[in-house]
Amino acid sequence: MIYCKSLIFFFVATVLFGLSHFSGVEAETTRYKLEPDMIASGVFVFWGKQESFSRENGANIVNTGFIVGRDAILAIDTGPTRLYAEEMIEAIKAVSPLPIRHAVVTHHHGDHAFGIQTFKKNNINILMHPKAKNLLAEEGAVLFGYLENLIGLDWTTGTEVDLPTSLLEKERMIDLGQRPVLIIPYEGGHTPGDLVIYDITSKTLFAGDLVFNGRAATIPHADISTWLDHLDTLEKQDWESLIPGHGPLLSKNQALDSTRTYLAFLRETAGAAISRGTTLAEIMTTVIPSPFDQLATVNSEFLRAMTTLFRQLEDEQFKSSPSTK
């Protein structure tokens, strides 16, 4: 019993210490220290950390980047906060004096879209899929509140949810000066309106969150079946390097299996549980099988994914079952 009590107090102490430790982030740490990584001639990536949102990383968990043409620059995604976007623009300017003319926001999730306001202030054309724009308008405030809770005001101060300046529903070519870049919409996969950026010159594909590498995919706005189809299409595209929304670079010889098998696992796990009558609490307390247990952030993302899928599937199940009033 004494032993048991020690354990409990150790737990309580850990929780208390953990909380007090979280409560203060010193001002000096509120810089992302973004460093562009040149992965091909004229193609740069700011690699995000393989972590969840935290007060330590300020949501720098996402891969953003830019492509430099002869006349202009195109940025890919805007990052999670005003601070991030400002640092990103600063870092791009340190690489090239050319104007940043466009920023393509791959989808409406905050880690990709909350820097829009800063790019807009710099007179940069911001492109988004219309469905993503609508979702950002509808859910942006809620998503931002959620982000602010997790990373803290030190990072989010001055960030305001803002909307794109132009919309793109069909594939479009943007020429940066002897550097044609394709913007390709992929609807209804990771979110209703994702955009993918393909640099024809270097055969680099910025896939946004349609591809997660070594990290648990997030699915709150996803349609898994369509997403799996999109992965097949993406895999067949002629790219040398693929930059996932989260996780390290993929080379041509690497298939998109990390995302594909995890999505299939989520769908099967939730589907089997719903049809057997297994409860959400039962599923959430089971052990995540190998190899998925190796994915970064899988413990928290698995809980989120099961919650989302359970709600959808349970609702369908009840609707197809006897119901009376």
Partner 1 sequence: MAKLSVTLQPSAIAAFFALFTLVLFPHLGNAAQTLDPLASTNWLDLQEEYLGEGPVEFNSSITLLLPPEIENSHEVPLTVVIPRTLGDVQEVVILAENNPIQQVLRLHLHRPVHSLSLTMRLETSTPVRAAVLLADGKWLVGSQLAHVLSPGGCSAPGGNSGGEVAQVGEIAFKQFENGGIYKNDRLKFRITHPMDTGLVTKANGESVPAYYIDRISIHDGSGLLLEFDTQAAMSADPVVTIDVPELQQNIRVMASDSKGLEFDSGELPTAQ
Which residues here bind partner 1, judged by CB under 8 A? Answer: 1-2, 4-6, 8-10, 12-14, 16-17, 20-21, 146, 149, 276-282, 284-285, 299-300, 303-304, 307, 314-315, 317-319, 321-325
Q: Please tell me the distance from the alpha carbon of residue 314 to that of residue 318, in angstroms, as a whole number.
A: 6
Q: Is the peptide bond before 185 cis (omega within 30 degrees of 0)?
A: no
**In this complex, which beta carbon is closest to partner 1, that of residue 264 or of residue 272?**
272
Q: Taking CB within 5 to 8 Å according to partner kind, which of partner 1, Zn ion, none is near residue 109? A: Zn ion
Q: Taking CB within 5 to 8 Å according to partner kind, which of Zn ion, partner 1, none is near residue 322? A: partner 1
Supply the minimum distance, in Å, between the C-beta of residue 252 and Zn ion: 24
Q: Please tell me the distance from the alpha carbon of residue 186 to that of residue 262, in angstroms, as a whole number.
A: 20
Q: Taking CB within 5 to 8 Å according to partner kind, which of Zn ion, partner 1, none is near residue 209? A: Zn ion
**In this complex, which beta carbon is closest to partner 1, that of residue 26 or of residue 238?**
26
* Nearest of 286, 74, 310, 113 to residue 194 by alpha carbon: 113
- Report residue 302 as tokens: 């698995």
Of the candidate residues 82, 102, 108, 109, the single one contacting Zn ion (CB under 5 A): 109
Q: Please tell me the distance from the alpha carbon of residue 221 to that of residue 55, in angstroms, as a whole number.
A: 25
CA 173 to chain CA centroid, Å, is 24
Supply the minimum distance, in Å, between the C-beta of residue 253 and Zn ion: 26
Supply the minimum distance, in Å, between the C-beta of residue 135 and Zn ion: 11
Q: Is 230 in the site for Zn ion (CB under 5 A)?
A: no
Q: Please tell me the distance from the alpha carbon of residue 253 to that of residue 83, in angstroms, as a whole number.
A: 36
Write down the residue that tokens 């009558």 correspond to: 277
Q: Is 77 in the site for Zn ion (CB under 5 A)?
A: no
Supply the minimum distance, in Å, between the C-beta of residue 55 and partner 1: 13
Question: How many other C-beta atoms lie within 10 A of the C-beta of residue 243?
Answer: 26
Q: How many residues bind Zn ion (CB under 5 A)?
A: 2
Q: Taking CB within 5 to 8 Å according to partner kind, which of partner 1, Zn ion, none is near residue 284? A: partner 1
Integer CA distances (angstroms), 71 to 20, 42, 93, 174, in order:
50, 12, 14, 12
Q: Taking CB within 5 to 8 Å according to partner kind, which of partner 1, Zn ion, none is near residue 157? A: none
Q: Taking CB within 5 to 8 Å according to partner kind, which of partner 1, Zn ion, none is near residue 236? A: none
Virtual torsion, Cα 265, 267, 271, 272, nearest 10 deg: -10
Q: Taking CB within 5 to 8 Å according to partner kind, which of Zn ion, partner 1, none is near residue 29? A: none
Question: How many other C-beta atoms lie within 10 A of the C-beta of residue 200?
Answer: 12
What letter would DSSP give residue 296? B
Q: Please tell me the distance from the alpha carbon of residue 126 to that of residue 1, in angstroms, as a whole number.
A: 62
**In this complex, which beta carbon is closest to Zn ion, that of residue 73 or of residue 227?**
227
Of residues 160-219, those binding Zn ion (CB under 5 A)? 209
Q: Contact region for Zn ion (CB under 5 A) — 58-66, 108-116, 179-187, 246-254?
A: 108-116
- Tell me the backbone φ, ψ of residue 282, rounded to 5 degrees: -65, -45
Residues that bind Zn ion (CB under 5 A): 109, 209
